[in-house]
Amino acid sequence: MCGIVGYIGPRDATPIILAGLQRLEYRGYDSAGIAVIQHGSIVVRRDVGKLSSLVDLIRQQPLNGQIGIGHTRWATHGEPCERNAHPHTSANGKTVVVHNGIVENYREIRADLLAEGVQFASDTDTEVIVHLIQREMDAGHDLAEATRRAVQQLRGAHAVVALSADEPDRLVAVRIGNAGGVALGIGQGEMFIASDIPAILEHTRQMVFLESRQMVTLTRSAYRVQTLDGEPVDAKIHSIPWDPVSAARGEFKHFMQKEIHEQARALTDTIRGRVDFESGAIHLPNLEISPDDARKLRRLVIVACGTSAYSGLVGKFIIEELTRIPVEVDYGSEYRYRDPILDNNCAVLALTQSGETVDTLAALEEAREKGARLWSIVNAIGSQAMRIVDGYIAMQAGPEIGVASTKAFTASIVDQYLLGLYLAQQRGTLSPDAARAHIQNLARLPDLVGQVLERDKQIKALAGELYQYTNFLYLGRGINYPIALEGALKLKEISYIHAEGYPAGEMKHGPIALIDEHMPVLAIALRDGVYDKMLSQIEQAKSRGGIVIALATDGDTEIAAKADHVLSIPETPPLLSPVVSVIPLQLLAYHIAVRRGADVDQPRNLAKSVTVE
Ligand code: AGP
């Protein structure tokens, strides 16, 4: 996903923009660029590859100015190279833009502009935007009006920031659809624009988030938000609670490593303020459901993608157990095209760390049209999934920078637990005693997670024995089957090793043919209701020459006699065991990826927020 940073104020824009882009590197990109107004003219520096190449270029060819925009590009149209990098400049060199999203009708627009004699300098879809803006300015409109008119001609989802040498005291930013966010940072005598909070958090906590089809014109001391129809908007100013340090890596080698080890604290934060340990009452401040509405609820549909979808598979077990409401789980990318059967006695719950995943947001829009209530569990403050629903639970896990999601996954499961308790409480089917017992279990989680994190060295040693294998099988049953899926995804996405998560009971229906000494099998075999079944699974794999890594409950000597390697977790209440059982799998994937020299925080081909289909 591309990154955008803009600045206007009394300071030199270049270092501010570059530092902001560095904080957005986790979003994944393949080129970068910056434009400032220097002595009345637009000056641009761009380079392919990592941001460090752009920094070196600017060191050799400095550019200074007090207003500028920068961009990290994840190529969609046009290969990654210098001339396709943003910012893109109009033919007369007076206007420049950066852009997130895809101009779906760029071919038609490009053909029209070419017919008018416009010269194109790149193969990108984005370049048509700057020429459209310049054409409107040549027709006599100011930058804001020209930008407003230009973006109305685009199809698709966009975030656009424009700058003109003819109006060197302002920036204009626009948001259409879900091509990533547009955050306005309000400083003292200076203003910032960014596609994500961490880029500008060190300068200000006061932020405004553009909604879709809104635009903002900003000078160093003021800003004006309006709709694309020209209506003024009194936009809410959010005060971001995150501190800049928590968005930095600290003493860890990778953001992912930091975020794995932050989970005990993140779970504490996601529970904090939502449970009353005395009365057993659950409070979800941004998700008020009346007892009457709770009793009317006949079905809950969870929609999500990737790791978030796997947290929903766990949530299904939890919410059905706590409420006896049927829960179905579907991928956002499937749900949006499945013409789902919904009515106003159904609720659709989106699980999304970024709050900007286009497939998940589209599934919500589909559900809205069918009359369902919309809820979400979201980490990114101010994101679309937090704003378009009837109610939400903020994960409160703090910024998750590593592309591979870890603390948001476990926070999402706990928040679904809280939702299940809340629904049961509102439906009158959960006694205060039962609620207190559940809350006591929740309160133990951070400590249980912390105990497993202390076993990092043992897991790192095991990774040293496994990192050269090229195929893995992850097996689980019941509430830990989704953890087999998530453990396999973690390994796949950061180490590029092929790994498959599978329901253990399904092995005999085909996949057992895969088992041999080249295919390590990770079997989740906790002391729970499916323990015996998992034991026999381990025996079947061993009898076929398989290498078995068992994830067991502390003190289980029986498994130690059967498996080649054993990782273990403390005894955990079954409904919460996935929150603890996933930790060793996160650490195992992390250490294997590090041993393989992989780019852990920015795996190839991946983005932190998938805002394209
Ligand atoms: C997580 O490790 C993956 N990077 C990916 O599957 C992610 O979970 C998915 O893209 C959904 O993202 P979201 O939670 O921000 O909606």
Confidence of residue 611 (pLDDT cuts 50, 70, 90): confident
How remote is the CA of residue 269 from the centroid of ligand 1, in Å? Answer: 21
Is 577's C-beta closer than 6 angstroms to any atom of ligand 1? no
Place of tokens 């061993």: 542
100 lines ligand 1 (CB under 6 A): no
Is any atom of ligand 1 closer than 6 Å to the C-beta of 493?
Answer: yes
What pLDDT score does 265 carry? 83
Nearest ligand 1 atom, CA 403: 4
Closest residue by Cα to atom 9, ligand 1, is 306
In sequence order, what DSSP letters do the residues of 95-135 get, joined into one string?
Answer: EEEEEEE--TTHHHHHHHHHHTTPPP--S-STHHHHHHHHH
pLDDT tier, 292 (very low <50, low <70, confident <90, very high otherwise):
very high
pLDDT for res 23: 86
List beta partners, residue 569: 553
Please tell me if the CB atom of residue 354 comes closer than 6 angstroms to any atom of ligand 1: yes
**Cα separation, 412 vs 566, whole angstroms:** 27
Q: Is the CB of 263 under 6 A from ligand 1?
A: no
Torsion sign across C-alpha atoms 289, 290, 293, 297:
positive
Mean pLDDT of 405-420: 98
What confidence tier does 112 reach under pLDDT thresholds 50, 70, 90?
very high
Instruction: Give the Cα separation of 25 and 3 in Å (integer).
Output: 8
Indicate if ligand 1 lies below 6 Å from the C-beta of 405.
yes
3-class SS string, 224-285: EEEECCCCECCCCCEECCCCHHHHCCCCCCCHHHHHHHCHHHHHHHHHCCCECCCCCCECCC
| 470 has pLDDT over 60 | yes
Q: Above 90 in pLDDT, residue 56? A: yes
Locate the ligand 1 atom nearest the alpha carbon of residue 408 and give its number: 14
Q: CA angle at residue 467 from 462 to 471, to 5 degrees?
A: 115
* C-alpha 412 to ligand 1 mean position (Å): 12
Choose between 155 and 61: higher pLDDT. Answer: 61
pLDDT tens per residue across span 221-276: 999 999 999 999 999 999 988 777 666 776 688 999 999 999 988 898 888 888 88
Label residue 327 by pLDDT band (50, 70, 90): very high
Is the CB of 598 within 6 Å of ligand 1? no
Pocket test for ligand 1, best of 26, 353, 376, 412 (most atoms within 8 A of CB): 353
306: CA distance to ligand 1 center in Å?
Answer: 5
Lowest mean pLDDT among 25-29, 56-60, 570-574: 25-29
**Other Cβ atoms within 10 Å of 536 Cβ, number:** 11
602 lines ligand 1 (CB under 6 A): no
Could you give the CA distance from residue 240 to residue 382 in angstroms, rounded to a whole number?
A: 9
Coil, strand, or helix at residue 527? coil
Q: What's the CA-to-centroid distance between 307 and ligand 1, angstroms?
A: 5
Q: Are 240 and 404 contacting, i.e. CB atoms less than 8 angstroms apart?
A: no
What would the mean pLDDT of 146-170 be, rounded to a whole number? 95
Of all protein residues, the one whose alpha carbon is nearest to atom 4 of ligand 1 is 404
Which residue owns the Cα nearest ligand 1 atom 10? 306
Using the Cα atoms of residue 151, residue 381, residue 86 and residue 98 in order, give the sign of their dihedral: positive
Q: What is the pLDDT of residue 223?
A: 98
Radius of gyration of the chain (CA): 25
Active site residue 608: yes
What is the pLDDT, as a whole number, of residue 1?
Answer: 57
Cβ(483) to ligand 1 under 6 A?
no
Q: How much is the pTM?
A: 0.74
User: What's the rounded Cα separation, in Å, for the pair 351 and 312?
Assistant: 7
pLDDT exceeds 60 at position 390:
yes
Give 464's pLDDT tier (boundaries 50, 70, 90).
Answer: very high
- Ligand 1 pocket test, pick from 610, 612, 613 with the greatest ligand atom count within 8 Å of Cβ, gives 610
Tokens of 460: 């790192």
Handedness of CA 446, 448, 449, 453 (dihedral sign): positive
Q: Rounded to an integer, what distance in angstroms lies between the CA atom of residue 75 and that of residue 12?
A: 29
Q: What is the atom index within ligand 1 of the atom nearest the CA of 606?
A: 4
Q: Which residues pair with 97 in a beta bridge?
A: 88, 162
For residue 399, the model assigns a pLDDT of: 85
SS (H, E, C) 144-177: HHHHHHHHCCCCCCEEEEEEECCCCCCEEEEEEC
Residue 157's pLDDT is 81
- Give yes or no: 346 in active site: no
Closest CA to ligand 1's atom 7:
306
Q: Which of 43, 49, 94 is nearest to 70 (CA)?
A: 43
Which of 302, 305, 491 to mutate for ligand 1's pocket (most ligand atoms within 8 Å of CB)? 305
What's the length of the chain?
613
Distance of CA 273 to the CA centre of its chain: 24
Distance 69 CA to ligand 1 centre (A): 28
pLDDT digits (tens, 9 = 90+) for 124-143: 989 999 999 999 999 999 99
User: 2, 94, 490, 492: which one is catalytic?
Assistant: 2
Instruction: Say yes or no: CB of residue 403 within 6 Å of ligand 1.
Output: yes
Residue with token string 């449970």 = 275
Angle CA 258–379–435, to nearest 5? 100
How high is the pLDDT of residue 347? Answer: 98
Q: Which of 258, 316, 407, 608 is catalytic?
A: 608
Question: CA 119 → CA 78, 116, 128, 144, 357, distances in Å?
Answer: 16, 9, 10, 24, 35
Question: What's the pLDDT score for residue 79?
Answer: 74
Which residues are within 8 A (CB) of 546 and not within 5 positions of it... i.e. 6 or more apart?
A: 515, 516, 517, 519, 520, 521
Ligand 1 contact, 379 CB (< 6 A): no
Average model confidence (pLDDT) across the chain: 93
User: Of 98, 94, 78, nearest to 30 (Cα)?
Assistant: 78
Integer Cα distance of 540 and 411 in angstroms: 35
Check if the beta carbon of residue 347 is closer than 8 Å to that of residue 389. Answer: no
Which of helix, strand or coil describes residue 366?
Answer: helix
